[in-house]
Structure 1
Amino acid sequence: MTDQPSTPLLNRIAGPADLRALSDLDLGRVADELRTETIHAVSQTGGHLGAGLGVVELTVALHAVFNTPRDKLIWDVSHQCYPHKIITGRRDRMSSIRQKDGLSGFTKRTESPYDPFGAAHSSTSISAALGFAMGRELGADDVGDAIAVIGDGALSGGMAYEALNHAGHLKKRLIVVLNDNEMSIAPPVGAMSSYLSRLYAGAPFQEFKAAAKGAVGLLPPPFQEGARRAKEMLKGMTVGGTLFEELGFSYVGPIDGHDMDQLLQVLRTVKVRATGPILIHAITQKGKGFRPAEGRVDKGHATAKFDVVTGEQKKAPSNAPSYTKVFAQNLIKEAADDDRIVAITAAMPDGTGLNLFAERFPARCFDVGIAEQHGVTFCAGLAASGMKPFCTIYSTFLQRGYDQVVHDVALQNLPVRFAIDRAGLVGADGATHAGSFDIAYLANLPNFTVMAAADEAELCHMVATAARHDSGPIAFRFPRGEGVGCEMPERGTPLEIGKGRIVHEGERIAILSFGARLVEIEQARESLIARGITPTVADARFAKPLDRDLILDLAARHEALITIEEGVVGGFGSHVAHLLAEEGCFDTGLRYRSMVLPDAFIDQAGPRDMYAEAGLNAEDIETRVLSLLDIEVIGKRA
């Protein structure tokens, strides 16, 4: 365990009000201690590190100048919020962050009045802040200023521009701080990134920046006053602010987001003088102040527990490859034989494994930024041109492109391949990142084929299946983390569309699995065999089209049938129930149950704990089987 760092000033901060009693010099010292505390806290728990380290000074300055929580401070993306949590009364709970019953890794309205809006997906803050601002204008109680801190690549999302455009039209007082660290999770892409880089890479800004630092004292006395005036000019100049000004914003910047004096002066001036929408452009460094993070490609975006001296992460060794890596390796194999295969990600090349694909096929891999809507329609255009796009997006983020999935892909029956990572419950990121809904929201679309991998070997086959499926859109989902350690094929074999498989033959009751709960079903079956019950186990593979023959055969040969999936009601089990009802299977007495995720958002915990809450672990499956067969469990009816 690392010793608790010395933080004498921070120890005096119970909340933001305490910051407002400090001198500017002491606020700078608080920021230094807050950075040390953030590093220490994340080293003990793991979590998001780099983004928070980049906004330490911003966090202190914003809370010192504005009257939070009456003034609404919204972080976007809110994995930047760890320093914010520390100085808003949650320091003593930081050891619980991203843990079961602990603090969320993002802002959360139910957690603190200082979290006025949750933002675990990006590009939402300006819209939300504008909503608060208009609420204030319309007489909402206890709403002061609305401040959106948007950064870590979130400005690459189109929703941010919709909000900027609307705010410029409304002309009401709104404060947007652009935390420009040239990063999201991966290095940023696109014209906006290049535009922002040009704002502060040019000679005029660099000259002013030099004048604003210690170089002033090196100048001859007659020149020092001019240099000081240049420093003041830096804080309010609008060089390169044309885009934001054309959208109706006053533009201030770029300023040094790690210079407490600059930040405090600019924020105080804005607080006093701003009448309409204003954008403050602050340049920051992701991972600032922790050399191991500064030296990483992702600037320490997310990390396991680590040593605060060396930065070495404490990850347990794995005995099986991750699903993400299996997907990437198999996609590379397919692409080596088919030069029409292209891969698309939305700012998540490492998370989706497409960094490996990009190393091999750089001209055929596209990172569209945090822009899932564009990414889906971009894939639709690629498919219409005759290419074979693999649209590789986490389940939770694919939600952001749903209209495009419907209108631009399904309606036109275009063969876009959707590789859906992080399907099911994902652990420490909690409800905001759970892949709970994709089965339901895809399987109800005409023309779609929807698959789920039961294990990493099945994933190999599904990549091969998707690569050869040209008759319409196809999706395959797979979970976060390591596989089950099964025997792996050298190369995936295309599956027959709409056909499942019998895994184990049994009697009386059949369990029909869709997705990665199969390993838990296998464990439940072993326990049931010990009780004298031998279920049939089948892997559906497809939620659409359903394997009608398999399902109807299971219904005919068993007195009971249970479906199990890592998705909400309305997905696989609902489609099976509809088929059984239409075929009259319930008329002859078939007992049927569907095990799905509950109608609730499940807070962060370890994956097993989350599935226990959902009732989808092996013991839950065993209990459901016994209950359906009217067998008493531990002396009472289950």
Structure 2
Amino acid sequence: MTAPSKTPLLDRCGVPSQIRKLKPDQLRQLADELRVETIDAVSVTGGHLGAGLGVVELTVALHHVFDTPNDRLIWDVGHQAYPHKILTDRRDRIRTLRQGGGLSGFTKRSESQYDPFGTAHSSTSISAGYGMAVANRLSGKNNHVICVIGDGAMSAGMAYEAMNNAGSDDKSRLIVILNDNDMSIAPPVGAMSAYLSRLISSKPYISLRHLAKDIAERFPRPLKQAARRAEEYARGMVTGGTLFEEMGFYYVGPIDGHNLDHLLPVLQNLRDSEDTGPVLVHVVTQKGKGFPPAEASADKLHAVSKFDVVTGAQAKAKSNAPTYTRVFAQALIKEAEADDKIIAVTAAMPSGTGLDLFDKRFPERIFDVGIAEQHAVTFCAGLATEGYKPFAAIYSTFLQRGYDQVVHDVALQSLPVRFAIDRAGLVGADGATHAGAFDTAYLGCLPNMVLMAASDEVELMDMVATAAAIDDRPSAFRYPRGEGVGLDMPERGRVLEIGKGRVVQEGSKVALLSFGARLQECLIAAQDLAARGLSTTVVDARFAKPLDEDLIRRVATEHEVVITIEEGSVGGFGSFVLHFLAGAGLLDQGLKIRTMVLPDTFLDHDTPAKQYEEAGLSARHIVATALKAMGIDVLAQGVARA
């Protein structure tokens, strides 16, 4: 006998059109079943948990009220969109989240018609949503655009730039839902605030407001302005939201985001109104709602590996090697103990960059600037002008957002800001949106920049110490996500000679020049080549800028084949080496040189090992490249050893 389903209502609601057929009093059960399904799915795959649990009721309400996908629903960042995916014809694949060939951990246009905009970097939803709303208006369409943005994402300047623009357009149908789940910017929510929200979002109130506005238009200009401000401030006194009103948005809220009786009438009122212009709905939620371990966790179980659904205990593999992120943090603490001018800066990622450890040791010397990479970079530039030594710890993919500031405010002025670039290279389950593919190219082209890449955890410690010692120009050092090699760690890093690499293994026929953490694959490849009778040199370049020209010149003149290997796009270390060799005339002497970089495509999420295999940067690909360069039949020789 088949056991009854734990999710009978959810089983009937595979797409939003089926949710819209439900009666309002059935939605509470649907939300409860959706929460159970979300918890169970993430316990199998890992991923982002707390944020998704906080928007379960909101997700149900939005798909019940609005005509998705005709009405466009954008989830800012998208890590809270797992419940949305379950309700939009992807439940049968939800346990493939972040797995190779499976669903993305974020919204993705190519994945579903219900994902109108791909997200993963924060604070883009309002800009994209306003673009859609304007396009709809210009096309004569009458559908809605709804953007759900968290209070953390509202710390980014881009969100306010978008609101400033959209707020001046009272003809486009744009609804922004501020999901307030952490900052506690709202007063207590309850029956009175819910009543007021229903009242001011209702058609009679909005119609009366517009009637008053039309009458006020007949007044002299001073009286007209006074009338408008009186109405805004009267509502602001009882509901808040004056800031958003000043930006041109009609503010509604705060609303309890877990109470469907409060959510539904407000959303229905706004759906049916044609006179509001841009609207901001302030919804208060709780991260991790409905899962006690997540509710009790200080970080709300934001991102998790596989876990036990009863206890919340995560199944993390034990390793003897520390993570690169932790090594960076501990190395920076050591440097800060010796130098009180060292300052740590993060853009809303204290735990992700390891700086939560620095915060415990030096709470007065760390600054979390919020999701504001542009500000973070120029803030560091200001610190540097006054003799301090700022370390900006920012993921490679997020530093892209502050690139103009790196160029104009740091490099142009040759200010000694130190960029600690975490998540360099491929990052596994987070996929293309979080892969650090371009930083070597976009930083290496800048004058005055010192650019390093760590091949192991000891080298990372040395590069932290080296960056701390550079006081006349900016510097950056990149390191991957994940665990180190497992080396014995020194007490403190040592200062490296700027622009000097190291020879790890001497050979005579093939030279492998590694920039970054592919060094171990190069050593494996060198063993394989040696077994084939090809003596191989392995170099840890350490620096892409300035290059170790003496070492590269020697390698180029003493070997038949030279191969550069890096975890970055074209335009990086290999390009710098080619540029030098061409200028030095060394390419005219029969040297066979090959560059191995990430392919010219965005690689989907998978395990890092499979991603690097797909990228062609594993040991067997290095061996194949060397053999092919020497004219040896790769198929006859066989593939590299595992």
Normalising to structure 1: TM-score of the pair?
0.92
- 1:376 aligned partner: 377
AA matched with 1:472: R
Correspondence for 1:178:
178
Aligned to 2:71: 71
Name the CA distance, whole Å, in 2 between partners of 1:499 and 1:132.
51
Secondary structure (helix, strand or coil) at the match of 2:252 reads strand
Match of 2:207 in 1: none
Evaluate the alpha carbon distance shift between residue 200 and residue 88 of structure 1 in structure 2; reply closer, same or farther with a 3 A threshold. same
Structure 2 CA distance for partners of 1:552 and 1:346, relative to 1, 3 Å: same
Q: Deviations over 1:74-123 (max 9, x none)?
A: 00120010000000000000111101011000000000000000110000
Q: Any conservation in 2 of the 1:129–1:148 contact (CA below 8 Å)?
A: yes
Shift of 1:235: 7.2
DSSP-derived class of the 2:168 partner: helix
Superposed, 1:111-130 pairs within 5 Å as: 111-130=111-130
Matches within 5 A, 1:447-596: 447-596=448-597
Q: CA shift at 1:637, angstroms?
A: 10
Q: What is the rounded CA distance, in whole Å, between the counterparts of 1:273 and 1:397 in structure 2?
A: 38
Report the AA paired with residue 241 of structure 2. G
Q: 1:274 offset after TM fit, Å?
A: 4.3
1:509-558 CA distance string (max 9 Å, x none): 11101000001101111111111112111111000000000001101111
1:266 corresponds in structure 2 to 266
Equivalent positions of 1:272-291 (< 5 A) are 272-275=272-275, 276-291=277-292
Alignment partner, residue 298 of structure 1: 299
2:158 corresponds to: 159
Contact kept, 8 Å, 1:51 with 1:152, in 2: the verdict is no
Where do 1:115-514 residues align within 5 Å? Answer: 115-139=115-139, 144-151=143-150, 153-171=152-170, 172-182=172-182, 193=183, 197-201=184-188, 208=192, 232-233=198-199, 238=236, 239-275=239-275, 276-514=277-515
More divergent stretch after superposition (627-636 vs 240-249) = 627-636
Task: Tell whether the 8 Å contact from 1:234 to 1:254 is kept in structure 2 after alignment.
Answer: no
Whether the 8 Å contact between 2:201 and 2:266 is mirrored in structure 1 is: yes
Q: Against the structure 1 CA distance between its residues 207 and 74, is the aligned structure 2 distance closer, same or farther, given a 3 Å change threshold?
A: closer
Deviates more, 1:511-520 or 1:165-174: 165-174
Work out the number of aligned pairs and report it.
Answer: 601
The AA in structure 2 aligned to 1:167 is A
Partner-residue secondary structure (3-state), 1:620: helix
**Per the alignment, in what secondary structure is the counterpart of residue 533 of structure 2?**
coil
What do you get for the CA RMSD once the two structures are aligned? Answer: 1.7
> How far apart in 1 are the matches of 2:106 and 2:352?
18
CA distance 1:133–1:415, shift in 2 (3 Å): same
Q: In structure 1, how many angstroms separate the alpha carbons of the residues matched to 2:254 and 2:274? A: 17
CA distance in 1, matches of 2:603, 2:499: 31
How far has the Cα of 1:635 moved from its partner?
2.4
| Cα displacement (A) at 1:487 | 2.5
| Shift in alpha-carbon separation, 1:302–1:234, aligned structure 2, 3 A | farther
Q: Which secondary structure state, in structure 2, belongs to the residue aligned with residue 78 of structure 1?
A: coil
In structure 2, relative to structure 1, the CA distance for the partners of 1:230 and 1:606 (3 Å cut) is closer
1:25 aligns with: 25
User: Which runs of no fewer than 5 residues in structure 1 stay unpaired?
Assistant: 183-192, 213-228
| Cα distance change, pair 537–438 in 1 and its aligned pair in 2 (3 A) | same
Query: Unpaired segments of 5 or more residues in structure 2?
Result: 203-234
Change (3 A) 1:553 1:324: same
Q: In 2 relative to 1, CA 508–164 (structure 1 residues): closer, same or farther, beyond 3 Å? A: same
Letter in 2 for 1:606: T
Q: Check if 1:99 corresponds to 2:99.
A: yes
- TM-score of the superposed pair, with normalisation by structure 2: 0.91
- Residues 261 and 207 (structure 1), Cα distance of their counterparts in 2 relative to 1, 3 Å cut: closer
- Secondary structure in structure 2 of the residue aligned to 1:484: coil
C-alpha distance in 1 between matches for 2:92 and 2:392: 42
Q: Deviations over 1:114-154 (max 9, x none)?
A: 0000110000000000000010011177x721110001511
Note closer, same or farther for the CA distance 1:573–1:198 as it changes in structure 2 (3 Å cut). Answer: closer
Distance 1:591 1:4, change over 3 A: farther
Q: Which residue of 2 aligns with 1:216?
A: none
- Paired AA for residue 104 in structure 2: S
Letter in 1 for 2:532: R
Map 1:12-91 onto structure 2 (within 5 A).
Answer: 12-91=12-91
Residue by residue over 1:370-402, the C-alpha shift from the partner in whole angstroms, topping out at 9 and shown as x without a partner, is 110000000000011110000000001000100
State the distance in 1 between where 2:196 and 2:496 align: 68
- The Cα shift of 1:297 comes to 1.4
User: Could you tell me how far 1:5 is from its partner in structure 2?
Assistant: 6.8
Sequence identity of aligned pairs in percent?
64
Aligned-partner residue type, residue 162 of structure 1: E
Corresponding residue number in structure 2 for 1:185: none
Preserved CA contact (<8 Å) 2:507 2:537: yes
User: Residue by residue, what CA displacement relative to the aligned partner does 1:460-485 show, whole Å, maximum 9, x if unpaired?
Assistant: 10000001110100000000010011
Give the drift of 1:169.
Answer: 1.2
1:5-54 CA distances to partner (integer Å, 9 max, x unpaired)? 71000000120000110011111110110001000000011001000000
Post-superposition CA distance 1:421-479 (Å, at most 9, x none): 00000000000000000000000000000000000010010000001110100000000
2: distance between equivalents of 1:510 and 1:241? 63
Conserved in 1, the CA contact under 8 Å of 2:329 and 2:355?
yes
Separation of aligned partners in 1, 2:145 and 2:458? 50
Give 2:231's aligned residue: none
Contact 2:197 2:255 in 1 (8 A): no
The 3 A distance-change label for structure 1 pair 258 and 630 is same
Mapped to 1, the partners of 2:168 and 2:9 lie a distance apart of 43
The 8 Å contact of residues 197 and 253 in structure 2, kept in 1 or not, is answered as no
User: Secondary structure of the residue that 2:34 maps to in structure 1?
Assistant: helix
Partner Cα separation in structure 2 for residue 604 and residue 15 of structure 1? 25
Q: Which runs of 4+ in 1 moved over 3 A?
A: 229-238
Following superposition of structure 1 onto structure 2, how do residues 619-630 of structure 1 map, counting pairs within 5 Å? 619-630=620-631
Say which SS state the counterpart of residue 164 (structure 2) adopts: helix
Query: C-alpha displacement at 1:208, in angstroms?
Result: 2.7
Distance 1:96 1:207 in 2: 41
2:80 corresponds to which letter in structure 1? Q
Task: Note the alpha carbon deviations across 1:138-179, whole angstroms, 9 max, x for none.
Answer: 1177x7211100015110110000000000112222100001
Q: 2:216 maps to what in 1?
A: none
Distance 1:258 1:551 in 2: 62
CA distance in 2, matches of 1:293, 1:173: 36
